[in-house]
């Protein structure tokens, strides 16, 4: 009974933290620092090269997470780029699911990222060529009240050297999470490279780490409530670590939920997933339709199911192309007409690319 409990419940919880959470942390920190150091230049590049808008917008989504796509949404809302550029970013982004895939299979993640950039840029150019451009709020104002789109603000704070980070400034829970991640890395990295076996210490640190992540997740309102234009342009390393901790907790909890759910299904029923509507043409359609759901939570679960063997690659790709990550949320607040149309438009290339992969594989 004890052995079954370990394999069904504790092992998935430990794997979520040690195999995903820790490796995500190793990526979040340097990417967060890079966003702090050079993030203000991304806005400038997008506005300077307006004629290449869809391509530049797709390239801005290369860093994992939703930061690049959120930047594009904010610039689009100001009227500085075309609607095609916004569509390109939404198609190209992998959202927070990219952390899960990057930690588990960097080569596959790179291949998928290249595919998404190409599909995203092409989709953006097609949208612009067809003249699809929903009226923004500014377009609905009387001509006398309109003003030219302001130039991107100079983010002086983003160019300052990072301020010293202290435990008091960071907060106890984020500091505890980062301490757990650092401790877990000393075991999980050697296990990843098969230098150590995942023994009792691995299990204990993993379960404890997932528990800390769950507390941070719950205290954060069970969502990335601060994933917006402000956090896409952090102004201090404290902000990078605090938001990064919430992002890691968010990913870890949802991956743990996917791992535990899949473990329960396979151990209790012997169900191998082949009977789920995630295979074949139906799977591609399901993956694309699930991508209509805003936010990253469901998409992270999808990535976890893929890694657990619960779905084929074409279904995952259809979902990746269709899903808009957390970038759709600020766009909904800024330009709801554009956001609602965008989430429908991104489903079209999702069905096409997913079906093509299904045929080729």
Give domain limits for the chain: 2-136+166-360
143 has a pLDDT exceeding 70: no
**More confident of the two residues 96 and 40:** 96
pLDDT, residue 170, reads 66
**Helix, strand, or coil (residue 95):** strand
State the Cα–Cα distance between residues 303 and 316, nearest whole angstrom.
7
Least trusted range by pLDDT, from 38-47, 89-98, 112-121, 232-241: 38-47
pLDDT, residue 159, reads 39
Nearest Cα neighbor of 65 from 86, 107, 34, 41 is: 34
What confidence tier does 260 reach under pLDDT thresholds 50, 70, 90?
Answer: confident
194 HSE (CA, 13 A, CB side) = 0
pLDDT per position as a tens digit, 318-359: 999 998 877 777 677 778 888 889 989 999 999 999 999 999
**More confident of the two residues 277 and 95:** 95
Q: pTM surpassing 0.75?
A: no
**Helix, strand, or coil (residue 65):** strand
**More confident of the two residues 235 and 209:** 209
State the Cα–Cα distance between residues 137 and 178, nearest whole angstrom.
42
Q: How many residues make up the chain in this entry? A: 361
Q: What is the mean pLDDT of residues 264-269?
A: 77
Least trusted range by pLDDT, from 33-37, 126-130, 245-249: 33-37
41 has a pLDDT exceeding 70: no
State the Cα–Cα distance between residues 213 and 223, nearest whole angstrom.
12
State the Cα–Cα distance between residues 343 and 323, nearest whole angstrom.
8
pLDDT, residue 268, reads 77
pLDDT, residue 322, reads 93
pLDDT, residue 272, reads 53
pLDDT, residue 275, reads 54
**More confident of the two residues 11 and 234:** 11
**More confident of the two residues 298 and 54:** 54
**Helix, strand, or coil (residue 140):** helix
Least trusted range by pLDDT, from 37-46, 144-153, 222-231: 144-153
State the Cα–Cα distance between residues 5 and 35, nearest whole angstrom.
42
State the Cα–Cα distance between residues 220 and 330, nearest whole angstrom.
18
65 phi/psi in degrees, rounded to 5: 95, -165
**More confident of the two residues 50 and 360:** 360
Nearest Cα neighbor of 27 from 89, 93, 100 is: 100
Nearest Cα neighbor of 20 from 177, 185, 172 is: 185
Average pLDDT of every residue of the chain = 78
What confidence tier does 232 reach under pLDDT thresholds 50, 70, 90?
Answer: low
pLDDT, residue 290, reads 86
pLDDT, residue 215, reads 92
Q: 248 Cβ partners below 8 Å, 6+ apart?
A: 21, 24, 25, 28, 99, 177, 181, 213
What confidence tier does 189 reach under pLDDT thresholds 50, 70, 90?
Answer: confident
Q: What is the mean pLDDT of residues 238-250?
A: 80
151 has a pLDDT exceeding 80: no
Q: What is the mean pLDDT of residues 158-167?
A: 44
Least trusted range by pLDDT, from 20-29, 30-39, 226-235: 226-235
The one-character DSSP state at 153 is P
């Amino acid at each position: 009974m004890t052995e079954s409990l370990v394999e069904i419940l504790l092992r998935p919880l430990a794997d979520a933290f040690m195999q995903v959470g820790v490796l995500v942390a190793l990526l979040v920190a340097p990417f967060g620092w890079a966003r702090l150091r050079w993030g203000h230049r991304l806005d400038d590049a997008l506005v300077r090269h307006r004629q290449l808008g869809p391509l530049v917008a797709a390239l801005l989504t290369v860093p994992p997470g939703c930061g690049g796509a959120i930047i594009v949404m904010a610039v689009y809302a100001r009227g500085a780029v075309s609607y095609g550029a916004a569509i390109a970013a939404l198609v190209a982004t992998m959202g927070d699911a990219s952390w899960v895939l990057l930690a588990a299979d960097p080569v596959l993640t790179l291949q998928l990222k290249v595919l998404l950039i190409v599909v995203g840029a092409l989709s953006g150019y097609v949208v612009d060529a067809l003249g699809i451009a929903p009226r923004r709020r500014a377009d609905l104002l009387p001509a006398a009240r309109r003003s030219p789109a302001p130039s991107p603000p100079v983010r002086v704070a983003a160019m300052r050297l990072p301020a010293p980070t202290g435990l008091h400034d960071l907060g106890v829970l984020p500091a505890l999470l980062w301490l757990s991640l650092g401790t877990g890395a000393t075991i999980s990295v050697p296990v990843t490279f098969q230098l150590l076996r995942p023994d009792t210490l691995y299990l204990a640190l993993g379960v404890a780490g997932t528990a800390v992540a769950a507390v941070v997740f719950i205290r954060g309102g069970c969502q990335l409530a601060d994933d917006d234009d402000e956090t896409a342009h952090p102004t201090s390393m404290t902000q990078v670590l605090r938001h990064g901790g919430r992002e890691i907790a968010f990913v870890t909890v949802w991956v743990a939920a996917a791992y535990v759910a899949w473990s329960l299904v396979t151990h209790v029923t012997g169900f191998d997933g082949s009977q789920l509507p995630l295979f074949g043409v139906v799977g591609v359609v399901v993956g694309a339709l699930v991508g209509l759901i805003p936010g990253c939570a469901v998409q992270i679960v999808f990535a976890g199911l893929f890694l657990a063997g619960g779905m084929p690659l074409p279904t995952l790709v259809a979902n990746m192309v269709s899903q808009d990550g957390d970038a759709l949320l600020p766009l909904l607040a800024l330009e709801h007409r554009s956001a609602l149309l965008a989430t429908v438009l991104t489903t079209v290339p999702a069905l096409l690319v997913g079906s093509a992969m299904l045929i080729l594989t």
